[in-house]
Amino acid sequence: MNGAFDRKIVLADGQEYFGRAFGAREEKILEIVFNTSMVGYQEILSDPSYTDQAVVMTYPLIGNYGMAAEDYECDIPSVGAMIVREYNAEPSHWRSEACLGDVMERYGVAGVSGVDTRKLNRSIRDYGSRLALITDADTPTEICLNKLSAFTPPKDAVSRVSCKTAWQSGAGGGFHVVAVDCGMKKNIVRSLEARDCRVTVVPWNATAETIRALRPDGIFLSNGPGDPTDVPETVRTVKALLGDYPLFGICLGHQILSLAYGAKIYKLKFGHRGGNHPVKRLSTGKIEITSQNHSYAVERNSLDDTPLSLTHLNLLDGTVEGAACERDGAFSVQYHPESAPGPQDSAYLFDLFLHLMEKN
């Protein structure tokens, strides 16, 4: 081991990667994943969908343009760690108000720099996402592996990042949208407000009766972390609302809507995370470049036994990227049309949601 390294990442299969600490110096066990975005590390840091995960950035230089107050996607970042090749602690940008490492230290997000991220990302790609321990470089390997084997991943990520009480945003005179917060990014609310919507955000476990009492014009199902089968309460709520209101779901919301209709979910080998995933919209044949962040997907064959039809397809691996039930005015996509970070090819989906509310 190089003496300049003071931290290491130990994978459950015994692989070790050494680096230098930045951000918080807490020992953590997390699911290790990678993100292929070239920009947007602040939005990635503050995306609640990364709760309990260590994100390895494939782009080598991170931190160079600092942090800006208006670019956060949540108030309190819940990502477990960021692992980078080169960390820049002296950002240069006119909007920068803080450096990445200071923000990570403030919120307890561990950081490791100087890592051979190319080798590490290849390992994740070849062998899949798995548990990793981030600890001091001199911690004995045997102790690390014992901690990993004894660890049970938590299943309450959504409840930890969801709002605790309902709140409202926007004073528009347009449609009233009730958004179910499973770990929702701020730019989703901004995207609805930009279309003159008034948004009431409710917790992940809000009942169908609570949502009905708010008299919404439409219901939005947000992104969020973890396995959708860990939130059966949300699935039951959505199932009780099918056909009564237009529904629009993204990411975890897409999986929850699919489960409510009777489709099945499975875990991907290493997930989809980045701002460069090509998706085909089947109704037009148009290819959208999309922003993605998820570990689970809908089983394509399971849609055959539901009222859902396939609407979007991932061109990298053929996975389901969108589904819709025309009868009920419900649709969902696996990617992030609000971007932040990422391309804006799919912003039309918010307009489609407005069209369904107008029609309803």
Residues with active-site annotation: 251, 336, 338
Amino acid at 346: S
Place of tokens 């489960």: 259
Other beta carbons less than 10 A from residue 239's beta carbon: 15
Residue 7's φ and ψ, nearest 5 degrees, are: -135, 160
Radius of gyration, alpha carbons of the chain: 20
State the pairing for strand pair 218-221/176-181. Answer: parallel
Per the CB < 8 A criterion, the answer to whether 38 and 59 are in contact is yes
> By the 8 A CB rule, do 133 and 80 touch?
no
- 103 and 130 in contact (C-beta within 8 Å)? no
Residues in the chain, how many? 360
Q: Name residue, tokens 């085909």.
A: 280
Could you tell me if 152 and 65 are in contact, meaning their C-beta atoms sit under 8 angstroms apart?
no
CA dihedral in degrees (23, 29, 33, 37; nearest 10)? Answer: -10
Its sign, for the CA torsion 10, 15, 19, 22, is negative
Pairing of strands 167-169, 320-325: unpaired
3-state secondary structure 57-89: ECCCEECCCCECHHHCCCCCCCECEEECCEECC
Report the Cα 353 to chain-centroid distance in Å: 21
3-state secondary structure of 295: strand
The residues that bridge with 153 in the sheet, in sequence order, are none
- Residue 166 in contact with residue 202, Cβ under 8 Å? yes
